[in-house]
Structure 1
Amino acid sequence: MRSPVTDTPYPDLLALALEAARRAGDLLRDGRPADLAVARTKSSPIDVVTEMDIAAEKLITGLIADQRPDDGFLGEEGASSDGTSGIRWVIDPLDGTVNYLYGLPTWSVSIAAEQDGETVVGVVAAPMRGETYHAVRGGGAWATGAWTGERALACRPAPPLDQALVSTGFNYVSAVRGHQAQVAARLIPLLRDIRRGGSAAVDLCDVAAGRLDGYYERGLNAWDMAAGNLIAREAGALTGGRPGERPSGDLAVAGTPGVFEPLQRLLEDFGAWHD
């Protein structure tokens, strides 16, 4: 039986993901021009793709392809290939693009490796925090910080739902965002409070690190959540979508045991899974 921690290729995949995330994070942090330009638009004029976003994905895919030419790719900025090795890399080179564009610190580089469709390695680098989060399936979740060194991650003990701090995100299409705001308005009286950070990958890692009790969002893509979802689960959080389903574009939910299920039920009742 495969050991998810010690058998190859997982340690090699983790080392490669960490190196790619470090290099991309350095590029984004140190190379951000003062007159940052918009290369093209995504779903609306507000949701932008910057020149640095595209450059970071090229750096990541180039580094990985040099060492593992038979692997596949799925990247937010267009990288797409099936590969022949059974390993596919799911990449968000800059999660939190609008934060980055405005000079806000909550953005990240997210890299996950899938084996036969299951995420086995996840790395999320948050350069402006000086932290990188990582997990290997079955091996726990970890954070490495510039000031704190490496430490194991564990989600918080579950509070009552009315004392839970929960994060979410909003779509950049105004009509969709309006419905999401209605859902949030119904949730707020039932929680301690709601946060909106702007990077799904960082939010999932904050659940893992005990900085949030829960997180939910509609409209995520695979690259937004692949790495963070694994890190949250390996830290003891529960994750899913609609009740009985895996996280998807309809709904992604993460939370400490005790918060996850009541939060998921409320989101189902409030129609958070549709626009």
Structure 2
Amino acid sequence: MNTLPAPRTVPADAAELEAVLERAVTVVEAAGELLRKRYDTAARPGDLDEIVRAIHANDKAVLALVAQPLLDTRPGSRWVEDELAGGVLPGGEWWVVDTAEGNINHIHGMGEWAVTAALVRDNAPVLTVVHLPLTGNTYTALRGKGAFLDGAPLRASAKTDLRAALVGTGQAKPGEDEEALRRTGAAVTAMLLDALVVRVSVPATLQLVHVAAGRMDVFWQFSDVRSGLLPGALLVAEAGGTVTDTRGEPWSLASADFLATAPGLHARAVDVLSGPR
């Protein structure tokens, strides 16, 4: 069940979007190479000020490499400035990019980070690229054309029993309010009682690519941060997974939370998450 919203405007010619995707892959992979060169497995920032400086330095370096080239692939498209923002965008086409998805991991010498880009038309994702520089893997999806890992098709898990499921969630961003954090904790407990294993980690996209590939079975997040959800949402939906909010309603940028699952686990995941409100 693909429950992502459809663009209001007439889609561009498929060949045109495929060309945009090809160029976007080139841009994102080049950005990933820059971020890889900035990566140091021995990095150990000592305090919050150093963490913030390192995060901003990564963002600034990669942004200079990706922003204009991606805008040039779609004349008239616009750029979302705040990668931690959520909610509905004005109509038209927007690039939603995370210059260092998992930046906090990168600056601590950990390996779970990526560069991501999604083209959004009328608040619906139509194209996405997720590049993992340390492995060289690139995940791509085009609306209605499937999801791929380095050109090979992706398929969501065929599991139907939550007791056999690998489930994930994570903190969307620093400084979330106490109510949201307590709700997350309650949901983790609820899932621990029903699922096989629950992973709590960041970033969201690196869990969602696993759901799209069938390695993981469920991911949820009580968040509306666009950059962490849009790329993975399109990948999961195009891989045959189910994408809704945690109540099972169709997901959009107006939704307050997010759920992506193997199709055979969706109903049970909604049941479990219906308690922690």
TM-score of the pair, normalised by structure 1: 0.82
Which among 224, 230, 244 is matched to residue 228 of structure 2?
224
* Alpha-carbon distance in structure 2 between the residues aligned to 1:140 and 1:100: 29
Shift of 1:47: 11
Partner of 2:24: 17
Provide closer, same or farther for how the CA distance between residues 267 and 153 of structure 1 changes in structure 2, counting only shifts above 3 A: same
Provide closer, same or farther for how the CA distance between residues 257 and 85 of structure 1 changes in structure 2, counting only shifts above 3 A: closer
* Alpha-carbon distance in structure 2 between the residues aligned to 1:94 and 1:76: 13
Provide closer, same or farther for how the CA distance between residues 26 and 214 of structure 1 changes in structure 2, counting only shifts above 3 A: same
Partner of 2:171: 170
Which among 120, 123, 146 is matched to residue 126 of structure 2?
120
Partner of 2:3: none
* Alpha-carbon distance in structure 2 between the residues aligned to 1:247 and 1:205: 19
Q: Are 1:180 and 2:181 matched, yes or no?
A: no
Shift of 1:56: 1.3
Provide closer, same or farther for how the CA distance between residues 72 and 186 of structure 1 changes in structure 2, counting only shifts above 3 A: same
* Alpha-carbon distance in structure 2 between the residues aligned to 1:93 and 1:126: 12
Residue by residue, what CA displacement relative to the aligned partner does 1:189-239 show, whole Å, maximum 9, x if unpaired?
A: 110010123111111111010110110011241111111110110000000
* Alpha-carbon distance in structure 2 between the residues aligned to 1:204 and 1:47: 28
Q: Which structure has the highest strand share of the two?
A: 1
Which among 90, 96, 99 is matched to residue 96 of structure 2?
90
Q: Determine what percentage of the aligned residue pairs are the same residue.
A: 25
Amino acid at match of 2:18: P
Amino acid at match of 1:201: T
Provide closer, same or farther for how the CA distance between residues 260 and 180 of structure 1 changes in structure 2, counting only shifts above 3 A: same
Residue by residue, what CA displacement relative to the aligned partner does 1:52-86 show, whole Å, maximum 9, x if unpaired?
A: 1222123211212344442111144599xxxx993
Unaligned 5+ residue runs, structure 2?
1-8
Q: Are 1:193 and 2:197 matched, yes or no?
A: yes
Shift of 1:35: 6.1
* Alpha-carbon distance in structure 2 between the residues aligned to 1:77 and 1:100: 17
Q: Is 1:4–1:138's contact at 8 Å kept on the other side of the alignment?
A: no
Provide closer, same or farther for how the CA distance between residues 72 and 251 of structure 1 changes in structure 2, counting only shifts above 3 A: same
Q: Is 2:71–2:79's contact at 8 Å kept on the other side of the alignment?
A: no
Shift of 1:116: 2.8
* Alpha-carbon distance in structure 2 between the residues aligned to 1:191 and 1:103: 30
Q: Are 1:215 and 2:219 matched, yes or no?
A: yes
Amino acid at match of 1:97: N
Shift of 1:7: 2.5
Shift of 1:173: 3.2
Partner of 2:4: none
Partner of 1:147: none
Provide closer, same or farther for how the CA distance between residues 219 and 78 of structure 1 changes in structure 2, counting only shifts above 3 A: closer
Provide closer, same or farther for how the CA distance between residues 254 and 85 of structure 1 changes in structure 2, counting only shifts above 3 A: closer
Q: Which stretch of structure 1 is more off in the superposition, 178-187 or 258-267?
A: 178-187
Which among 136, 140, 149 is matched to residue 134 of structure 1?
140
Q: Which stretch of structure 1 is more off in the superposition, 130-139 or 64-73?
A: 64-73
Matches within 5 A, 1:17-166: 17-32=24-39, 49-77=55-83, 86-144=92-150, 150-166=151-167
Partner of 2:246: 242
Q: Is 1:57–1:75's contact at 8 Å kept on the other side of the alignment?
A: no
* Alpha-carbon distance in structure 2 between the residues aligned to 1:180 and 1:164: 19
* Alpha-carbon distance in structure 1 between the residues aligned to 2:183 and 2:246: 17
Structure of greater relative contact order (alpha carbons < 8 Å, 6+ residues apart):
2
Q: Is 1:206–1:212's contact at 8 Å kept on the other side of the alignment?
A: yes
Provide closer, same or farther for how the CA distance between residues 180 and 47 of structure 1 changes in structure 2, counting only shifts above 3 A: farther
* Alpha-carbon distance in structure 2 between the residues aligned to 1:48 and 1:261: 41
Amino acid at match of 1:61: A
SS of match in other structure, 2:228: helix
Which among 201, 207, 213 is matched to residue 203 of structure 1?
207
